[in-house]
A and B are shown apart, each in its own frame.
Chain A
């Protein structure tokens, strides 16, 4: 929106300087429908400008907020990166994560993780990654006291329309998005930032149901919803 609108404090005059139109209104006469339309047009244009300004401010604040979260994560990672790998793995084990999920978040295979558990040293990069996972698990309940079981919380999908979880965010290196989710940001908005095509990728007409033998099965989703 590039329209440039000026308005008097009383709102009795609106002027669109982009097109050079002025719409002075004589307060002593009854306003016509045309006058009212002009006033409303000016008010609308002014609101749009303010809205755009608010969006710009929101973008700036969001960027600063994300930067602040990254700083918080980095500070916490520094506390853990020098710790023994066995200690870091024990902490994640104690929280109730599956070894396969720890491996996925760390970006390594399950057998590679098993070697760490048996004393083999990870690379410096992998050690930092492990420290970051522990840091996130510390920070989530600190930022959101509602989250009491961080392992369970990270296994929950961000949206009922896709199976993507907090563990997927960590595996994808999007650590600050995890903290934003913990602070109550909309899960689907965060997925838009994480995987812009997720809505199409996970659109389907298949649902899981429990069959008569008690085991899960798949079927076409009911049209009745």
Chain B
């Protein structure tokens, strides 16, 4: 886990690679939509600037109304080309999220003042050009919170509050990778994953809840891998 230099300041990534989970062809098409995903050709109502890049801002825990299906509308911000923001200047540019090297080495920034709600059905049909890493999502949240409230939330605490969702997304990636090339649709794959994840022994705790427990998460991963091995 990257260490904040000064907990009183907005943090910066050590390298641009630390910002991203995947970019361009690295992006898994089966990955569920998540905070920090950058999408192409998104029209944001009220901006009147046509279709262009946008980044998902909605909190990871608030994106899905039942844990599976996306909310009807998702909060996104416009992403535009922008000069590289050096690490020393991340404690500035408060209305932006710098996105160095986002596409083919070119640098961009998300503009928190150019944001709005977009119907989720449009977003899932749109090409994804990048997904932020967990640390990248934490940085995005830290900057957005500061923009809205002037409060510096430590990224490691933001991570602690989202760790269950991050682990769930990673397990979903693994599950979806296993089923890629088979006949199920992504929605069916996602539904089967969540059904398995929410299973709980009588009177016991569901795997989804256990994902939030550091001591049990490795066991949940082993259970899923054993389950998939039986299906292979």
Contact in complex: B156, A152 (CB < 8 Å): no
Contact in complex: A218, B26 (CB < 8 Å): no
Measured CB to CB, the residues of B under 8 A from A are 1, 3-7, 17, 21-22, 26, 61-62, 134, 153-154, 156-162, 164, 167, 170, 174, 212, 214-219, 221-222, 225
Contact in complex: B218, A95 (CB < 8 Å): yes
Contact in complex: B156, A163 (CB < 8 Å): yes
* 3 A-B pairs closest in CB distance: A96-B218, A151-B218, A111-B26
Residue A181 interfacial (CB < 8 Å): no
Q: Which residues of chain A come closer than 8 Å to B153, judged between CB atoms?
A: 206, 218
Central interface residue in B153, B174, B217, B218, by most chain A CB within 10 Å: B218
Interface SS majority for chain A: mixed
Contact flag A94-B161 (CB < 8 Å), given A152-B216, A168-B1, A203-B7: no
Contact in complex: B215, A156 (CB < 8 Å): yes
Q: Which residues of chain B come closer than 8 Å to A202, judged between CB atoms?
A: 3-4, 7, 154, 156
Question: Please, how many residues of chain A have a CB less than 8 angstroms from a CB on the other chain?
Answer: 36
Interface SS majority for chain B: helix
Q: Which residues of chain B come closer than 8 Å to A156, judged between CB atoms?
A: 214-215
Contact in complex: B225, A94 (CB < 8 Å): yes
| Cα of A153 to Cα of B93 in the assembled complex, Å | 40
Q: Which residues of chain B come closer than 8 Å to A151, judged between CB atoms?
A: 218, 221
Q: How far is the CB of B148 from chain A (nearest CB, A)?
A: 14
Contact in complex: B160, A208 (CB < 8 Å): yes
Partner of B167 from the list A98, A168, A200, A217 (CB cut-off 8 Å) is A98
Contact in complex: A204, B170 (CB < 8 Å): no
| Cα of A151 to Cα of B223 in the assembled complex, Å | 14
- Closest A residue by C-beta to B171: A98
| Cα of A165 to Cα of B3 in the assembled complex, Å | 12
- Residues 154-167 of chain A, each 1 if its beta carbon lies under 8 Å from chain B, else 0: 01110000011100
Contact in complex: A218, B161 (CB < 8 Å): yes
Contact in complex: B157, A195 (CB < 8 Å): no
Contact in complex: A152, B154 (CB < 8 Å): no
Contact in complex: B174, A99 (CB < 8 Å): yes
Contact in complex: A97, B221 (CB < 8 Å): yes
Contact in complex: B3, A195 (CB < 8 Å): yes
Contact in complex: A216, B162 (CB < 8 Å): yes
Offer 13 A-B interface pairs, CB within 8 angstroms, sorted by A. Answer: A94-B222, A96-B225, A97-B221, A99-B170, A111-B22, A152-B214, A152-B215, A201-B4, A201-B7, A202-B156, A206-B154, A215-B61, A218-B157
| Cα of A80 to Cα of B4 in the assembled complex, Å | 35
Residue A61 interfacial (CB < 8 Å): no
| Cα of A57 to Cα of B130 in the assembled complex, Å | 55
Residue A93 interfacial (CB < 8 Å): yes
